[in-house]
Structure 1
Amino acid sequence: MQKDFEKELLENFSAYVGRNNLKLASETSGLILPARIPISPDKKLLNELKIGAESFDYLINIHTNMASDDIGSMQIGNLSSSDRNSVSVSLEIIDLNVPGSIYIQEVYSVLQAYKDTKDFSFAVTAEKMMDKSFKKILSRIEKNYID
């Protein structure tokens, strides 16, 4: 799923800044970055990021969390009222020159079974919810983009 998000992000942001101005950390040699950067990193970490990515001005930080994945795409009864699909997706743009966050967007998605009908039903998988949440963030960026 990460590769899908990276590809979609590159396609989307290329329209704003040009493809040559975007690079994936995983495909760039010489970067010294932690494997996971928290949303809204503290000043110490921001300074370390600036040193580790010295030739870059901005960092796009994406976080995904699949809190629960209890309901499948096709279900035949036997759902508990506590069964749910729950995901969150966050996208943060960090200015490494200032340094600090200049944009943060988070989307939470929840699908819950309130009562079991003992019937055949269709639902959105947690993975699909995550994909739609990410696309929601990208569409908000597109909507608010100022040329």
Structure 2
Amino acid sequence: MRITRLLLLLPFLFLSCSVPSYVFTNPAQAGLSFKDGKWLLNSIDGNNDVNNMIYKKAVEDFSGFVGTRLSETGNTNGLLLGVKIPLNPSQKQITDLYKGTKFDYFINIKTNMVKDNLAAVSLNVSHMSDNRQNMSTVTLEVYDLKNGMVIYSQTAQGSAHKPTDSTSDVHLVKSSQGLVLGCYNRLIKDIKKKSS
């Protein structure tokens, strides 16, 4: 039995793992009040395969916050929206959103895989250059449409690097898509912690 356990653990002795790190760009961001109003979730802006998963999680998470007061832009008739709603919109753009939707709050999420230089399992890592990394960001903004202002704006950045002191030829690292999901999860934890 002990020999079997040892044989199962033996391959992991030759592996090197990288723990991803996450940071917020606006750590002083205040929370949200979910007590009233109609909420509209925009489609996810980004060009990666994980956006569908993020969108489903956002529907689930914000439904948990506001219940049946959440609607989705793709499932709501009669909306007059532009193709893409920019991050950090002007007051006029937010006012135009209110006129085109008649909702109280608008949720806008943008994902970005900044760097994708390492595979989830990388071989011959000790021979790679030291600046290889995976990096992703997720920005989540909430707009108060009636008052024409951004009430929540936070970006989470996740990165995973090749360890500089690694002598192993096999290295496990979180993919850029996994980092997008990790960034989103940290944003939701931040909202839960700071909101009522």
In the TM superposition, residue 52 of structure 1 has moved relative to its aligned partner by: 1.6
161, 176, 184: which one pairs with 1:126? 176
SS in 1 for 2:153: strand
- What CA deviation, in whole Å up to 9, does each residue of 1:61-107 have, x standing for no partner? 00111111110100002422221111110111101000111111210
Question: Is it true that 1:37 corresponds to 2:85 in the alignment?
Answer: yes
Count of residues in correspondence between the two structures:
144
Question: Is it true that 1:27 corresponds to 2:84 in the alignment?
Answer: no
RMSD: 1.6
Unaligned runs of 5+ in 1: none
CA–CA separation in structure 2 for the residues paired with 1:99 and 1:76: 51
| Structure showing greater Rg | 2
User: Residues 140 and 153 of structure 2 are in contact (CA less than 8 Å); yes or no, is this contact kept in structure 1?
Assistant: yes
Question: Is it true that 1:87 corresponds to 2:130 in the alignment?
Answer: no
Give the counterpart letter for 2:76 in structure 1: T
Q: Aligned runs of 1:1-147 on 2, under 5 Å? A: 1-18=50-67, 20-54=68-102, 56-77=103-124, 78-113=127-162, 115=164, 117=167, 119-146=169-196
Give the counterpart letter for 2:177 in structure 1: E
Residue 79 to residue 36, structure 1, CA distance change in 2 (3 Å): farther
User: Residues 85 and 108 of structure 2 are in contact (CA less than 8 Å); yes or no, is this contact kept in structure 1?
Assistant: yes
In the TM superposition, residue 11 of structure 1 has moved relative to its aligned partner by: 1.6
Q: Give the share of equivalent positions with the same residue, in percent.
A: 28
SS in 2 for 1:23: strand
TM-score with structure 1 setting the length: 0.89
- What CA deviation, in whole Å up to 9, does each residue of 1:80-138 have, x standing for no partner? 22211111101111010001111112101122225474601111000000101100111
- What CA deviation, in whole Å up to 9, does each residue of 1:20-46 have, x standing for no partner? 211111121221222322221012211
Give the counterpart letter for 1:141 in structure 2: I
CA–CA separation in structure 2 for the residues paired with 1:118 and 1:10: 41
